[in-house]
Amino acid sequence: MENCFENIGIIFNSEIENSKKTAEIFHSKLMNSKIYSINELQNDIDLAVAIGGDGSFLKVARYYSKYSTPILGINMGRLGYLAQVKPDEIDEAINKIKNSQFEIENRLMLTAINKTALNDIVVKGEHCARTATLDLYINDKLLCSYVSDGLIISTPTGSTAYSLSAGGPIVSPELNCFLIIPICPHTLNTRPIVIPSDEKITIKNHENSKLNVSFDGQVDIVVNSEIEIQRNENNAQILILNQQKDKFYDILKEKLHWSLSPKK
C-alpha cells in the first residue's frame, strides 16, 4: 500500500553526525519524499520527518505548526523524548506510515511577542548571572513576586525538559495546562504551579529593567520590563507510530530508567 502523504519532507541537521546519511536512507525507501536542510525548510509538504535530536524536532515543529503539518522525529541525539524513532527502526516506521498505522497528537504551544515555543518560554532578568525579582500576574491579577534566577513557563510536552531539571512535575501531554516553575528561588516555600491553558500569564521585572526571554532554548530575545504569554492558536502536530495510549509512560520508563531494580 502506498503511503497517504503525497509530499514528504525529510529534514536533516548538518550539525548532527550521520543525520544527512540517515535522511538519504529514509529517502531511498519512501516514495514522494525530498530531502531538505533544517536551515531551508519548505512549506509544500504534508509530513515532515525531522532527523536529529529533540532540538531539531523543536525547530521543525515550531515552523510547521502554522501549517498543521505532522512531524515525525528520528532520534540521532541523546535522550529523544520527542524524536521517537531510532535509526534501526526506520523500516518499521516506513511500513507503518505506508499502512496508516499511526495517530496524530495535538500538542499545546506557547506564544509571546509573535514567537512560539513547544517546550517552554524561559524569562530571566536583564543580567542573567544575577537573581531577579519577577512579578507574576495571572489574568492581570498579581499572584506573587519571585526572587529567583528566572521563571520557566512550560507546556506539558516541555515538562520532561528544562522544567523537570528545575523541579517541576511531569505532566501528561494530553492535559490542557501550563506549568510555572521558578529557577533556583530564594525562598523555600516557593513551589511550581499548574494553571489552565486558557489563562494569560504576565511577567514583569520588579526593578522595571529589561527581560531576557528564551523560546525552547533556541531563540533568545531581550524585551522591556514586561512580557505576556498565552496559548498559541496553533498546536504542534506530532505523528505517533505506536498507537498504544500508554506510550508516553513507556518513554518515561525508558528515558528516566524507572522500574529498574537497584544494583547490588
Q: Burial, 197: exposed, middle or buried (Cβ in 10 Å; 0-12, 13-18, 19+)? A: middle
pLDDT of res. 86: 86
pLDDT of res. 1: 39
Distance in angstroms (rounded) separating the CA atoms of residues 234 and 225:
27
Phi first, then psi: give them for residue 226, nearest 5 degrees.
-145, 145
Question: In terms of Cα–Cα distance, which of 60, 82, 231 is closest to 161?
Answer: 82
pLDDT of res. 124: 97
pLDDT of res. 64: 98
- Residue 116 CA: distances (Å) to CA of 5, 127, 230: 26, 23, 10
pTM tops 0.85? yes
Q: What is the residue extent of each domain of the chain?
A: 8-108+235-256, 110-231
Question: In terms of Cα–Cα distance, which of 25, 107, 118, 97 is closest to 242?
Answer: 97
Indicate if 110-231 has the same CATH topology as 8-108+235-256.
no
Q: Which residues, in sequence order, are CB contacts of 45 under 8 Å at separation 6+?
A: 7, 8, 9, 34, 69
Distance in angstroms (rounded) separating the CA atoms of residues 62 and 141:
30
CATH of domain 110-231: 2.60.200.30
pLDDT of res. 142: 97
Distance in angstroms (rounded) separating the CA atoms of residues 91 and 98:
11
SS3 126: coil
**Residues with active-site annotation:** 54
DSSP-assigned letter for residue 85: B
Dihedral (CA of 98, 55, 64, 7) sign: negative
pLDDT of res. 254: 73
Helix H or strand E segment including 27: helix 19-29
CATH of domain 8-108+235-256: 3.40.50.10330
Dihedral (CA of 56, 58, 59, 65) sign: positive
DSSP-assigned letter for residue 109: -
DSSP 197-230: TTS-EEEEETTS--EEEEETTTEEEEE-SEEEEE
Phi first, then psi: give them for residue 66, nearest 5 degrees.
-70, -15
Mean pLDDT by 10 residues, the chain (264 residues): 80 93 92 93 94 94 97 84 85 90 94 98 91 96 95 97 95 96 91 96 95 97 97 96 66 72 59
